[in-house]
Amino acid sequence: MKALILDGSTEENFTLKIVHDVIIDEFKNIGWKVNSRVLRDLKIGSCYGCFKCWVQTPGICVIDDVERDIAKETIQSDLLIFLTPVTFGGYSSELKKAVDRLIPLVMPFFIKIDGEVHHKSRYERYPSLMGIGVLPNEDKESEQSFKTLVNRNAINFHSPIHTAGVIISNQDKELIREEIKTLLSEVGVKK
């Protein structure tokens, strides 16, 4: 089983670093392969919204950079993990840059899911999705917005299972570990 972490921290973030290391630890314990991409260290172009990945080079973004590898790694994973400072109730620009360019993984055509229109799937199977956001202080509104966004992304990316959690900065490492374990179990990760 394989997991891909997209780390959207915009600068060295102490809590996100702990979360990241704990996730790697937990996957080692259960024998999963895990690949981590620290997005701020990569040169990723912004999505132009040109839709050429649908009508010119179907399934592949026309921007030839590392995001093509990230899209491939995403669809070939069993679990996709978003790590990010919660930014205005959403993702950091570093994470968003990578997420925007995952659009070639779905089709341009529409389908109704639970009565709501979404894009049809391109692939037979998609990874489950786990979103973990870090907030400096408790902020219920930002937390709710973040969790809603992960939920909406999971529907659009046809994730079989998804979960989202928010961790407040400067928590004890063992408490963070417990929260991560809970989230992993919610998203069906087991040995």
Partner 1 sequence: MGLETEKIWIYPSIKSQEKSSDLISAVDHFDTVIFASPLYINSLPASVTETMELIVNHRKTTKMTKKQQLLAISNCGFPGAHHNDTALAIYRLFAAESGFEWAGGLALGMGAAINGRSLNKIGSMARNVKKSLELTATALAKGKPVSQDAVDLMAKQPIPSWIYMQIGEIRWKCQAKKNKVRTKSIYNRPYQR
Q: Pick from 122, 168, 171, 188 the residue near partner 1 by CB under 8 A.
A: 122
How many residues touch partner 1 under the rule CB under 8 A: the total is 47
Q: Residue for token digits 């919204």?
A: 49
* 16 near partner 1, rule: CB under 8 A: no
* 128 near partner 1, rule: CB under 8 A: no
Q: Pick from 49, 64, 137, 174 the residue near partner 1 by CB under 8 A.
A: 49
Given the complex with partner 1, which of 21 and 66 has the nearer CB atom? 66
Write the DSSP assignment of 89-115 as a string of letters: TB--HHHHHHHHTTGGGEEEEEEEETT
Given the complex with partner 1, which of 14 and 123 has the nearer CB atom? 123
Angle CA 183–155–3, to nearest 5: 45
Which tokens is 104 given?
């070639």
b/e per residue, 63-99, with b = 16+ CB within 10 A? beebbeebbebbbebbbbbbbbbbbebbbbebbbbbb
The CA radius of gyration of the chain, in Å to the nearest whole number, is: 16
Query: CB under 8 Å to 154, separation ≥6 — which residues?
Result: 129, 162
Q: Pick from 12, 31, 43, 55 the residue near partner 1 by CB under 8 A.
A: 55
Q: Pick from 90, 171, 181, 188 the residue near partner 1 by CB under 8 A.
A: 90
Contact 162, 130 (CB under 8 A): yes
The least CB distance from residue 145 to partner 1, in Å, is 5
Q: Pick from 96, 158, 162, 177 the residue near partner 1 by CB under 8 A.
A: 96
What does the binding site for partner 1 look like in residue numbers (CB under 8 A)? Answer: 10, 46-47, 49, 51-52, 54-56, 58-60, 71-72, 75-76, 87-93, 96-97, 99-100, 102-103, 105, 107-110, 116-118, 122-123, 141-142, 145, 148-149, 152-153, 156
